Amino acid sequence: MLLRVLSFLLLQGLGALLGLWLAPQDLQVRGGLVGMLAAGTLWVLVDFTRGLRVLQWLRRDDVSDVPLKFGLWGAVAERARRMARVREQATRESDRRLQDFLSALQASPNGVLLLDAAGRIEWLNQMAATHFGLDPERDQLQHMVNLVRDPAFTAYVASGDYRGSVTMPGRGHTAAHPLRLSVQLHPYGDGRRLLLSRDITALEQAEAMRRDFVANVSHEIRTPLTVLSGFVETLRTLPLDQGERARYLDLMAQQAGRMQSLVSDLLTLSRLEGSPLPGAGEWSSVPVLLTQLEQEGRALSAVLNPPMAGPAQTLVFEPAPACELGGMATELHSACSNLVSNAVRYTPPGGEVRCSWLLHEDGRGEFFVQDSGPGIAPEHIPRLTERFYRVDRSRSRDTGGTGLGLAIVKHVAQRHGAELKIESVVGKGSRFAIIFPASRVRRLPA
């Protein structure tokens, strides 16, 4: 500021001297005044021009370089440039944080949707677009209730009570492929609302499976308990001869064995779901495993198909190649034994059960059991590994099945990285195979 005053005074002095020098002898005082006025006017014009340059520079978007380096206007321009840079940095930082926040919302497994005070869509992430079948660009500023016409959702929005959530079907919901959403609104700001949607299909299915599981276990245990209670009451109240008493005790033993098998399978499933995955450090001989399965299968076939009841089943156990299977031996034996016992139970007298082990060229191993039983309709195959699922309930109970065998097989296969493959033709029989990865199969010298 001092330099600015000094420059003005200096120019005034120069103007006065120049006016005195150019004016006549008798008009020197007037000449000095005119010189000072001219010098002041010149100084104001120059200063105005400098200020105008700074103003035009400020009006441009590019403030990377200042138009003036010195003087008051130069200091003003430099100060403005610094403030603009600080503001640009703050804006960039705000934009970066906003983008990070939006990216986090995009990565959210839940749907996030912002509504203005009128209920129009301001922003939504891709998950919300998937849940409600919306387009993030096309449906912006559209009323949400016009796009989602579920009656439960419409009533929930109109109620104004957002303390709880509402459950509704998502876009594309069908009986074969259900999609259930839990939706809740959260007011914020000046009348705006945050809508959160969550896919609860798996939770509802798990809850339904839990209810079915409890009901099935209760039913499976109640039936033999009812039979046992009836026999016990009969033995207590009626005078029976030795033969009748022995027959009742045999039936009671069968029902007790049925309950014991059910509890054993339930414990096996619980252990499989709660224990860590098996490693590949334990190796079991495949020929020895098939020998054990053959002994068990023939023993079960002899019990279910006594010689007097009709033609015997044909059980074929083909020789296994020299190899070993990596994993937990008890689990592998349980899974393979379940497949063999199921085939024996469901194959009628005179039918054939074939069991073998194959080595694929890529190193994988396949254990399969093929029977000539009644076969399974295609609509039942996807549900065979569900707990207590039976194609023919009466037939399953007659053969002593618990309805948990294939569930155990599926869990053992998954724990060993294997695949359970089921093929069946109604009236011709079924083929169940467990295909183990190459990392679980080790060839041995012949």
- The per-residue pLDDT for range 126-174, each reduced to its tens digit, is 999 999 999 888 888 899 988 988 899 999 999 888 988 999 998 878 8
Higher pLDDT pick, 91 / 215: 91
Answer whether residue 36 is part of any domain. Answer: yes
- On whether both 116 and 167 belong to a single domain, the answer is yes
- On whether both 97 and 121 belong to a single domain, the answer is no
Q: What is the pLDDT of residue 186?
A: 93
- The two beta strands, 166-169 and 180-188, are antiparallel
Report the sign of the C-alpha dihedral through residues 333, 386, 263, 252, in that order: negative
Higher pLDDT pick, 153 / 43: 153
Distances (CA, A) of 238 to 225, 228, 245, 261, 283: 20, 15, 10, 30, 56
- On whether both 442 and 342 belong to a single domain, the answer is yes
- On whether both 66 and 176 belong to a single domain, the answer is no
- On whether both 112 and 93 belong to a single domain, the answer is no
- On whether both 149 and 250 belong to a single domain, the answer is no
Q: What is the pLDDT of residue 223?
A: 74
- On whether both 87 and 122 belong to a single domain, the answer is no
Q: Where are the alpha helices (DSSP H) in 176-241?
A: 201-237
pLDDT at 115 > cutoff 90: yes
* CATH number of the domain to which 429 belongs: 3.30.565.10
> Domain range for residue 95?
2-101
The whole-angstrom separation of Cα 317 and Cα 240 is 46
pLDDT at 393 > cutoff 60: no
- The per-residue pLDDT for range 291-335, each reduced to its tens digit, is 999 999 998 888 887 765 567 789 999 998 899 999 989 899 999
Q: Which of 101, 128, 147 is the last residue of a domain?
A: 101
Q: What is the pLDDT of residue 65?
A: 72
Answer whether residue 207 is part of any domain. Answer: no
Answer whether residue 400 is part of any domain. Answer: yes
* CATH number of the domain to which 163 belongs: 3.30.450.20
Q: What is the pLDDT of residue 22?
A: 67
- The per-residue pLDDT for range 239-287, each reduced to its tens digit, is 878 888 888 888 888 788 878 877 887 887 777 777 777 876 789 999 9
pLDDT at 114 > cutoff 70: yes
Answer whether residue 53 is part of any domain. Answer: yes
Answer whether residue 206 is part of any domain. Answer: no
Q: How many domains does the chain have?
A: 4
Answer whether residue 204 is part of any domain. Answer: no
Cβ(263)–Cβ(217) below 8 Å: no
pLDDT at 399 > cutoff 80: no
- On whether both 280 and 393 belong to a single domain, the answer is yes
Structure tokens at 400: 């002593």
- On whether both 446 and 401 belong to a single domain, the answer is yes
- On whether both 130 and 235 belong to a single domain, the answer is no
- On whether both 311 and 236 belong to a single domain, the answer is no
Question: Model pTM?
Answer: 0.56
- On whether both 344 and 413 belong to a single domain, the answer is yes
Beta partners for 124? 113
